[in-house]
Amino acid sequence: MNIVLLGPPGAGKGTQAKRIEEKFGLIQLSTGDMLRAAVASGSEIGLKAKAIMEAGQLVPDEVVIALIADRIDRPDAKRGFILDGFPRTTKQAEALDRMLAEKGIKLDHVIEMKVDDALLVDRIAGRYTCAKCGAGYHDRNQRPRVEGVCDACGSTEFRRRADDNAETVSKRLQAYHAQTAPILPYYRAQGALKTIDGMAPIDAVTGALVRILAAPTAKAPAAKTRPAAKAKPKAAAKSRPKAKRRAKTAPKKAKRPVKPKDKRKAKRPVPAARRKVPRRAARAAAGRRSGARRKSR
Catalytic residues: 13, 88, 127, 161, 172
Q: Which of 18, 114, 127, 132 binds Zn ion (CB under 5 A)?
A: 132
> What span, in angstroms and rounded, lies between the C-alpha atoms of 227 and 235?
12
> What span, in angstroms and rounded, lies between the C-alpha atoms of 288 and 80?
75
Q: Which of 26, 130, 208, 213 binds Zn ion (CB under 5 A)?
A: 130
> What span, in angstroms and rounded, lies between the C-alpha atoms of 272 and 278?
9
In the bound complex, what is the minimum distance in angstroms from residue 9's beta carbon to Zn ion? 25
Would you count residue 222 as binding Zn ion (CB under 5 A)?
Answer: no
Q: Which residues of 183-210 are buried (b: 16+ CB within 10 A; e: fewer)?
A: bbebbeeeebbbebebbeeeeebbebbe
In the bound complex, what is the minimum distance in angstroms from residue 144's beta carbon to Zn ion? 9
Contact, 121 vs 173, CB < 8 A? Answer: yes
> What span, in angstroms and rounded, lies between the C-alpha atoms of 10 and 115?
10
Would you count residue 146 as binding Zn ion (CB under 5 A)?
Answer: no
Give the range of 106-114, 142-150, 177-185, 272-280 binding Zn ion by CB under 5 A: 142-150
Give the range of 95-103, 144-152, 205-213, 261-269 binding Zn ion by CB under 5 A: 144-152
Would you count residue 135 as binding Zn ion (CB under 5 A)?
Answer: yes
Sign of CA dihedral 28, 32, 38, 41: negative
> What span, in angstroms and rounded, lies between the C-alpha atoms of 262 and 226?
47
In the bound complex, what is the minimum distance in angstroms from residue 157's beta carbon to Zn ion? 8
> What span, in angstroms and rounded, lies between the C-alpha atoms of 288 and 225?
55
Closer of 132 and 259 to Zn ion (Cβ): 132
> What span, in angstroms and rounded, lies between the C-alpha atoms of 53 and 59?
7
Closer of 152 and 222 to Zn ion (Cβ): 152
What is the per-residue binding string for Zn ion in 61-80, x denoting contact by CB under 5 A?
--------------------
DSSP state of 289: H
Would you count residue 133 as binding Zn ion (CB under 5 A)?
Answer: yes
Would you count residue 270 as binding Zn ion (CB under 5 A)?
Answer: no
Closer of 40 and 152 to Zn ion (Cβ): 152
DSSP letters for 197-210? ETTS-HHHHHHHHH
Would you count residue 259 as binding Zn ion (CB under 5 A)?
Answer: no
- The alpha helices in 74-201, defined as continuous H runs, are 90-102, 117-125, 166-180, 183-190
In the bound complex, what is the minimum distance in angstroms from residue 133's beta carbon to Zn ion? 3
What is the per-residue binding string for Zn ion in 147-166, x denoting contact by CB under 5 A?
---x-xx-x-----------
Binding site residues, Zn ion, CB under 5 A = 130, 132-133, 135, 150, 152-153, 155
